[in-house]
Amino acid sequence: MEKGTLKLKTGLAEMLKGGVIMDVTTVEQAKIAEEAGAVSVMALERIPADIRAAGGVARMTDPEIILKIMNAVTIPVMAKCRIGHFAEAQILEAIGIDYIDESEVLTPADEKYHVNKWDFKVPFVCGATNLGEALRRIGEGAAMIRTKGEAGTGNVVEAVRHMRTIRDEIKKVASLPKEELMTVAKEMGAPYELVLNVHETGKLPVVNFSAGGISTPADAALIMQLGADGIFVGSGIFKSENPMKMAKAIVEATTHFNNPEILAKVSKGLGNAMYGMELSKIPKEELLSVRGW
């Protein structure tokens, strides 16, 4: 019997496909998410919009809060560690978390290196804004990728940019003659074997969800039509006027992302979505998606 293999790590992500992973901060929110049909919840002390508002250093959530949420739901529970903070990751593995998100939403602990995810039995999801970054994370052992978007803004524009960038780069790599791949690997800063894999399969070697700014069923459908395998909704649910209704609507929109009649039906009467921020008004040093190397 073998445990902690890459197949088991990527396999769980395969099972989450076509689903919505929701940020929650309390047992009550976790139960709402499960009841609404979330495939998993991300246990947090604060949702990204509040992390953004609070400023200061954002760290791993208190394990007690995470454990309470783990005990309250039957769906898998994820939690975030800071970029490069392998001790936080060890703690999350020790409490039996189902997936670790090495996340730019928290303040990075290392300005140069990410966690060596091969050291862990628990799977990791990592953020990426382009193909090179995604393949570097996979090279470090990530079993799932999450396009970053700009978390806590309620603005989907960065999520769209990152999805389109990765999709276009995959198409390019797939169409190039083989002799150009080593140079592409060098320019992207990505392992050659993984570039070759993308060239041969025409897709990322792991599941790719989309995150950061998705706040309505229409946002979810847009990002799914751009090729995401599923979505993360952070602040979009519990910063909206009617979280249960919004959560259910986003779940249905993710399943029926290419069916406009259903999208129209589930989009009706949801109340106010979360407040959305214009990205050009956010100071550059406060942008989260540029974190990660």
Partner 1 sequence: MLKKGVNFITVGVLALQGAFREHINSIKKCGANAQEIKFPEQLKNIDGLIIPGGESTTINKLIKKYNFKIYLDDFYNSGKVIYGTCAGLILIAKKVINEDFGLGYIDIEVERNSYGRQIDSFEEYISLEFDSGKKFKAIFIRAPRIINAGPEVDILSKINNNIILARQKNVLVSTFHPELQDDTRIHEYFLKMIKNHKKV
Q: Which of 2, 23, 7 is nearest to 209 (CA)?
A: 23
Return the structure tokens found at 17. Answer: 């496909």
**2 to 21, contacts with partner 1 by CB under 8 A?**
2-5, 7-8, 11-12, 14-19
The residues that bridge with 232 in the sheet, in sequence order, are: 21
Is residue 68 annotated as a catalytic residue, yes or no?
Answer: no
CA nearest 10: which of 159, 117, 170? 117
Binding of partner 1 at residue 50 (CB under 8 A)? no
For partner 1, which is the closer residue by CB, 76 or 154? Answer: 76
Q: Exactly one of 17, 68, 80, 112 is catalytic; name it.
A: 80
Question: Footprint of partner 1 on residues 77-96 (CB under 8 A)?
Answer: 93, 96
In Å, what is the CA distance from 82 to each residue of 89, 109, 130, 183, 232?
A: 8, 6, 20, 32, 18
Kindly identify the residues of this chain, within the stretch 108-147, that bind partner 1 according to CB under 8 A. 121-123
Asked if 98 touches partner 1 (CB under 8 A), the answer is: yes
Q: Is 1 in the site for partner 1 (CB under 8 A)?
A: yes
Among the listed residues 30, 39, 81, 198, the single contact to partner 1 using CB under 8 A: 39
d(CA 135, CA 244): 36
Q: Is 282 exposed, middle or buried (0-12, 13-18, 19+ CB in 10 A)?
A: middle
Interacting residues toward partner 1 by CB under 8 A: 1-5, 7-8, 11-12, 14-19, 34, 37-40, 70, 74-76, 93, 96-99, 121-123, 251-252, 254-256, 259
- Positions marked active-site: 80
